[in-house]
Amino acid sequence: MYILHRGVKHINQFLPFTNHWLILAASVPVSLACGTLFAYSVFSTQLAERCQLDVSQSANLNISATVGSAFGAILGGLVTDYYGTQLPMLISSFCIGFGYLWLYWQFNLGPDSSITQLLLSMLLIGIGSVSGYFSSIKAVTVNFPNFKGTAQSITIASFAISSLIFSNIATRVFHGDAGPFLKFLSITCGLSIFIGFVFIRVDGYIDHHIIHPDDEVTVEEVAATESDPLLGRSDSVSTDIETAGKNSLNDLKHKSLKESFLHPVFWYHYFIFAIVQGLGQVYIFSVGFVLKAIHYYFTRVIPPDINTTIPTLNQLQALHVSIIAIASFLGRLSSGPASDFLVHRLNSQRHWILIIGLSFMLTGHVLNSFVIDLISLDLSKVNIYLMVVSALIGYAYGLSFTSYPAIISDLFNMKNYSFIWGAMYTATTFGLTLMTKIFGYVYDKNTTKWDDTTHEYVCAKGSGCYNTTFQITSGLCLLAMIQILGYIYYKNYQTIHST
């Protein structure tokens, strides 16, 4: 790895000039490419049908991508902190490009495809979707220390809008044909992330003679590092020290990596983040199957004379992926400025953004837990209901997720930021795995009708195929909200008694 690092340093002599504005600009195509992970719903049902996968097997592909993203978060975080941002960009470019190409090969094999190779290709896509993305987040964080929430929101919002852009490309350019679309993703995503390698150049420990990531950090070391023109500005040091003096919990900013991981505040947030991620992603990854159940019910179970014009399943999927993407984009874009306003103008906590986001999330999950087939016999009216659900959950997920990188940078040592944030992100694996398994179990349990046309068992119960899942997740959403309110109360208590 060190040899590669030295080779990259040599190549940098021939690369164009960069600065903090170019770094922010380059983070956009990187995030757009990485965000294609959430365009999975566009081709998920086609992939499942062509490769003859049941819902549980398709859910395992989601889990494999999530495991990959967790691994990529840790690997990318460690490499970013130690060697800088460019090596993670190369890893991300290769993994996501080859991952989509591998998935394309397996898609073409159809029934002869290997479930093992499908899982491995999704694993690589997961790694590639996070490694470079998290490097971009650290790069904009250290280059815009006084407006990190706002800068992060631009990068993270680009990640969210990606699925909208690529779902439209899938529909308008490739006309819903998943095979050529996967090949297109392979080429486009690999090249887009390579732009980050060229312009997002932020040094790591090794370039500042910091030997081991577990060493104690001092104020002088932070000042020396963050005064570097590429690593950030020294005015962030006084801000961090002032914030630390206000709240004893911010002593975490001066702890080693080991001490940070052993601190109960880390694990408290880890558990909350697992629930928040699971709540958002279980719907994002499973919305294709939600729509499949509703579409089948209104086209094959309801008498055909009830509905005159019925959109295709692909049209419904593209519509809802777009709604989720736009809502998530708006949530992410508004989260950063709102959290910066709370901290700098109202002297409050970023955690209130989580409470607002989870309030929207709870509403969406509760709405999805109802038997919506009883609302109307018209698919268009039911679809409007589902559009509201997609908008609520998409916005809530974007708003909640985007607040977390800034929360972590407020709480913990910036020296180890990428690795700590990467480790925190592994909570996604547990949250999504739990909720996806629940979704797959409930859906498969209700898949009992044999369809003579498609020659497969299908779920013909409409919203009854999945609403039990969202009754369970609604309870988990309430649990997360109670935990966050408990932390806000405890932090306020600590602040009052430390002054």
Q: How confident is the model at residue 455 (pLDDT cuts 50, 70, 90)?
A: low
For residue 244, tell me if it sits in a domain.
Answer: no
For residue 307, tell me if it sits in a domain.
Answer: yes
Question: What pTM was estimated for this model as a whole?
Answer: 0.74
Instruction: Give me the number of domains the chain comprises.
Output: 1
User: How does 387-407 read in b/e, with b if 16+ C-beta sit within 10 Å?
Assistant: bebbbbbbbbbbbbbbbbbbb
Torsions phi, psi for 201 (to 5 deg): -120, 100
pLDDT per residue as tens digits for the range 5-34: 777 787 888 888 888 899 999 999 999 999
Kindly state the average pLDDT of the residues 182-199: 93
pLDDT per residue as tens digits for the range 320-344: 888 988 898 899 888 888 888 887 7
HSE-CB for 48 with a 13 A CA cutoff: 23
For residue 311, tell me if it sits in a domain.
Answer: yes
User: Positive or negative CA dihedral for 172, 174, 177, 178?
Assistant: negative
For residue 81, tell me if it sits in a domain.
Answer: yes
For residue 325, tell me if it sits in a domain.
Answer: yes
Distance between CA atoms of residues 69 and 72, nearest Å: 5
For residue 226, tell me if it sits in a domain.
Answer: no
List all residues 6 or more positions away from 251 whose beta carbon is below 8 Å from its beta carbon.
244
pLDDT per residue as tens digits for the range 43-83: 888 898 899 888 778 878 888 998 898 888 888 888 888 88
Please list the residues that pair with 456 across neighbouring strands: 451
Distance between CA atoms of residues 14 and 144, nearest Å: 26
The domain that holds 119 is classified in CATH as 1.20.1250.20
Looking at residue 211, its pLDDT comes to: 41
Largest CA distance in the chain: 76
Q: How confident is the model at residue 237 (pLDDT cuts 50, 70, 90)?
A: very low
For residue 188, tell me if it sits in a domain.
Answer: yes
If one counts every other C-beta atom within 10 angstroms of the C-beta of residue 159, the result is 31
For residue 220, tell me if it sits in a domain.
Answer: no
Kindly state the average pLDDT of the residues 442-471: 84
Kindly state the average pLDDT of the residues 96-117: 93
Q: Find out whether 214 and 121 touch, Cβ atoms under 8 Å.
A: no
Owning domain of residue 372:
2-209+255-498
